[in-house]
A and B are shown apart, each in its own frame.
Chain A
Amino acid sequence: DAGITQSPRHKVTETGTPVTLRCHQTENHRYMYWYRQDPGHGLRLIHYSYGVKDTDKGEVSDGYSVSRSKTEDFLLTLESATSSQTSVYFCATRQVNTGELFFGEGSRLTVL
């Protein structure tokens, strides 16, 4: 399995505060992704990266930003958290030759 770790695994915060979730990989995969999982919606893509400093928006990117300064790390930032951003967030990396995604354990964020 790809070595993908997310931190923090659980976080409770208040509306209006900034939040950063970190994803770290040890597989040297070029592509990295942030998804959110909500009941009835499956996993929806927030942002993704196709290389260092190369990122693009997914289908639910409003209110989120990302940064990737190193191959290993992909950060997701909520500049001013809202209750609608309460969710479970998954980071994933992609194996180029098969297209398979490898996922982190998920980060549960609660915005009060």
Chain B
Amino acid sequence: AQTVTQSQPEMSVQEAETVTLSCTYDTSESNYYLFWYKQPPSRQMILVIRQEAYKQQNATENRFSVNFQKAAKSFSLKISDSQLGDTAMYFCASEETSGSRLTFGEGTQLTVNP
């Protein structure tokens, strides 16, 4: 079974600064997807960014980018120019392409301070 670990239960950052959220995972698969989801106070789950394991290039979506280290099984999320609207719970998740099931980490509560 896959496991996903987020070792930072809470983090805070000043508006306009950069913050990195950590995630490690364990899988026996050779091909899989990795995701970061955001859950603001509204409780809605929103996809932030997606990475396919066979692609070496790190995914980027506007102010959000990942540092994907396949050998180390690490998948960190970097948020640049943090905004107040980035305040949310962030979940890292992995999916085995053979199993079609997502496994989530425990979450990191990020607070952006003005």
Is there contact, CB below 8 Å, between A40 and B100?
A: no
Any chain A CB within 8 A of the CB of B104?
A: yes
Is there contact, CB below 8 Å, between A59 and B1?
A: yes
Interface residues on B, range: 20 to 34
Residues of B within 8 A of A99 (CB): 33, 35, 50, 95, 97, 100, 102
Is there contact, CB below 8 Å, between B35 and A88?
A: no
Check A42/B104 contact, CB under 8 A, given A99-B33, A99-B95.
yes
Which listed residue (A43, A98, A106) contacts B104, Cβ 8 A? A43
Is there contact, CB below 8 Å, between A98 and B101?
A: no
Known: A101-B102, A103-B45, A106-B43. 17 other contacts (CB 8 A): A35-B104, A40-B106, A41-B106, A42-B4, A42-B6, A42-B104, A42-B106, A42-B107, A43-B91, A45-B101, A45-B102, A94-B100, A99-B33, A99-B35, A101-B37, A101-B45, A106-B44
Chain B contacts to A: CB under 8 angstroms: 1, 4, 6, 9, 33, 35, 37, 43-45, 47, 50, 91, 95, 97, 100-107
Chain A contacts to B: CB under 8 angstroms: 31, 33, 35, 40-45, 48, 50, 58-59, 88, 90, 92, 94, 98-101, 103, 105-106
